[in-house]
Structure 1
Amino acid sequence: MTSRPSCRALRFLFTSAALVAVLTGCGFMGGSGGSASKGGERSFTVAAAGDLLIHPQLIDQARTDAKETGLGADGLDFGPLMAGIEPVISKADLAICHMEPVIGKPKGPFESYPNFLVPPQIAKTAKDIGYDTCSTASNHSIDHGYAGVKRTLDTLDAVGLEHTGSFRTEKDALTPLIIDVKGVKVAQISFAFGFNAHSLPKGKRWLVNRNDLGRIETAEKRARAAGAEVVILSIHWGREHHPNPSTPQLEFARQLARQTGIDLVIGHHAHVVQPMEKVDGTWIAYGLGNQVARHDVPTGLTEEGVIGWFTFTERGGEWEVEPRYVPTLVEIPPDPEIGADGTPAGSAKGQVENYRLVDVAAELGRDDLSDLERSRLRLAFERVEGTMLNRGAVKDGLKPLTELPD
């Protein structure tokens, strides 16, 4: 692991309000950065977030922002969109993203649902804000066949992001991803439930990992044999737009907890936040929601997400995991209202003007919020909190990394 400068997102921000938000966020972490515990045990932190899913409106925002910042590449700058979470992501010893779609070429063409093809500039932004590695197994992994998988992984390599879940060769598929995190060998494995209307190509069944308890057990054992001390599973599963985990999710979670030695399970795919739960000593994050997305019909829930913050501490030769969560929100500008004269009407105070991903608690720490802004943010925080705790995780110590401000 290499050290990362704090608050690099400042270069993306050019309004005084955004600057205040980041400066507030830069000081909130308070001793959770992964130093050795008081007893001298080894310890490190992991930040893991939800789906990165770039819809056309977000590409348009990146184009607008590039004109303002003069940054980015080929006319797109995703920095301002993502900057609000940089203080959290960059502070973790290991930061894991979920790259759900296929990455395209810098100037396009780009595609949305059902076969995603997104700008490669988002990968550079993910690296810039502090991500170290991405899971790439999803139901969209093979939207554009082998060529799409290869281009996605080539792009992640080019910006310095590790990756696992989809592969260019069978040898790669059999080689565990193990990252040195403060002297601890941490393996990441990534699996998905299926690939929509697409099938794995003949002769390349190894192209993307598909959910199967036996295959996951084998991947974990392979990682342990390669020296992994901790194994983290990223898994694409569940029902879209359902905050409650499905019965198959719950059953599979119990199989994973009881029949494998996986240390942490982080879930994706639902596009809404789902709870965390400790199952037989193993923390399961059923669904982290969307990190960033803009669905055709936003529901509020699809704009909310969670950054899971996990502190691993070695005690007596075993790894204990202390979970926290950071509610996030993609702020969506409303469609412009047209006045009687046929021109766009002015925006109301507190109305969102640009797509921005924010750390909800950090934003609520600002003293320049309107009542409308404060209400919107509090609703997001409280709704995420209610979901996160609705399987009784509070009794096992789950709580927000930063409490809801008064």
Structure 2
Amino acid sequence: AARKAGADVVVVSLHWGTEWQDAPDDLQLSLARSLTASKSGNRPDVDLILGTHAHVPQAYEKVNGTWVVYGMGDQIAGEMTNHDGAHDPRGNQSTVARFTFSPPSRPGARWEVTRAEFVPQLYDIDAGRVVDVNAALAQGAELHAVRDRIRDVVLSRGAAKDGLVMAGG
């Protein structure tokens, strides 16, 4: 409907996935394939999918030529406990998805992602603020393990080969 109404870029935000699971679940994978395969004429119906719900960062992946962020994690959360009742620091880790779209080279064609980035973040419970992990590392913070965990999860489905980069890192 958005494309038919004249939208140049269609971003779909989905509340999906299994809480506390780093990997996208079968429903996320299936729905991502289905949504990214949907077309109206010669253009895809969806240009970007941004997912939420799992409380932890999940993979980014290009599916049928369309970027999918399965889960960005919780940007602002307090002390997080998982389904086992245990404190789970992953619930304070997140990413910001940054995708730069450029207009098509010919009228009626698809707008293309010309830059795909993610920013690893951590919610500092004591300070009550979101921290850009790479900026904090540059200032001497000991967040290498947090940054590496987020990066490994985000890139776990091969997004680096499709051009996804970690901003500031």
Q: Please say whether Structure 1 and Structure 2 have the same fold, judged by a TM-score greater than 0.5.
A: yes
1:238 and 2:24 matched: no
Give the structure with the larger helix fraction: 1
Tell me the secondary structure at the aligned position of residue 111 of structure 2: strand
Give the structure with the larger strand fraction: 2
In the TM superposition, 1:288-327 aligns within 5 A as: 288-297=72-81, 298-316=87-105, 317-321=109-113, 322-327=115-120
Tell me how far apart the structure 2 counterparts of residues 232 and 318 of structure 1 sit (CA, whole Å). 13
Structure with more contact order per residue of length (Cα contacts < 8 Å, sep ≥ 6)? 2
| Aligned CA-pair RMSD | 1.3
Shift of the 378–286 alpha-carbon distance from structure 1 to 2, 3 Å rule, reads same
Deviations 1:255-301 (A, max 9, x none): 00112410000000000000000001000000000111114434121
* Residue segments in structure 2 that go unaligned for 5+ positions in a row: 40-44, 82-86
Tell me the secondary structure at the aligned position of residue 18 of structure 2: coil
Native 8 Å contact 2:76 2:123 kept in 1: yes
Deviations 1:75-126 (A, max 9, x none): xxxxxxxxxxxxxxxxxxxxxxxxxxxxxxxxxxxxxxxxxxxxxxxxxxxx
Shift of the 280–296 alpha-carbon distance from structure 1 to 2, 3 Å rule, reads closer
Aligned partner of 1:277 among 61, 69, 82: 61
Deviation, 1:224, is 2.3
Shift of the 225–329 alpha-carbon distance from structure 1 to 2, 3 Å rule, reads same
1:389 and 2:155 matched: yes
After the TM superposition, which parts of structure 1 deviate over 4 Å for at least 4 consecutive aligned residues? none
Shift of the 259–318 alpha-carbon distance from structure 1 to 2, 3 Å rule, reads closer
Q: What number of residue pairs does the alignment pair up?
A: 155
1:331 and 2:124 matched: yes
Tell me how far apart the structure 1 counterparts of residues 10 and 35 of structure 2 sit (CA, whole Å). 12
Tell me how far apart the structure 2 counterparts of residues 225 and 283 of structure 1 sit (CA, whole Å). 21
Structure-2 residue corresponding to 1:247: 26
TM-score normalised by structure 1 residue count: 0.37
Query: Residue 311 of structure 1 aligns to which amino acid in structure 2?
Result: T
1:287 and 2:71 matched: yes
TM-score normalised by structure 2 residue count: 0.86
Query: Residue 73 of structure 2 aligns to which amino acid in structure 1?
Result: G
Structure-2 residue corresponding to 1:363: 136
Tell me how far apart the structure 1 counterparts of residues 3 and 37 of structure 2 sit (CA, whole Å). 17
* Residue segments in structure 1 that go unaligned for 5+ positions in a row: 1-220, 334-353
Tell me how far apart the structure 1 counterparts of residues 80 and 63 of structure 2 sit (CA, whole Å). 35
Deviation, 1:231, is 0.7
Tell me how far apart the structure 1 counterparts of residues 12 and 88 of structure 2 sit (CA, whole Å). 28
Tell me the secondary structure at the aligned position of residue 17 of structure 2: coil
The structure with more radius of gyration: 1
Query: Residue 303 of structure 1 aligns to which amino acid in structure 2?
Result: N
Shift of the 240–295 alpha-carbon distance from structure 1 to 2, 3 Å rule, reads farther
Tell me how far apart the structure 1 counterparts of residues 46 and 110 of structure 2 sit (CA, whole Å). 12
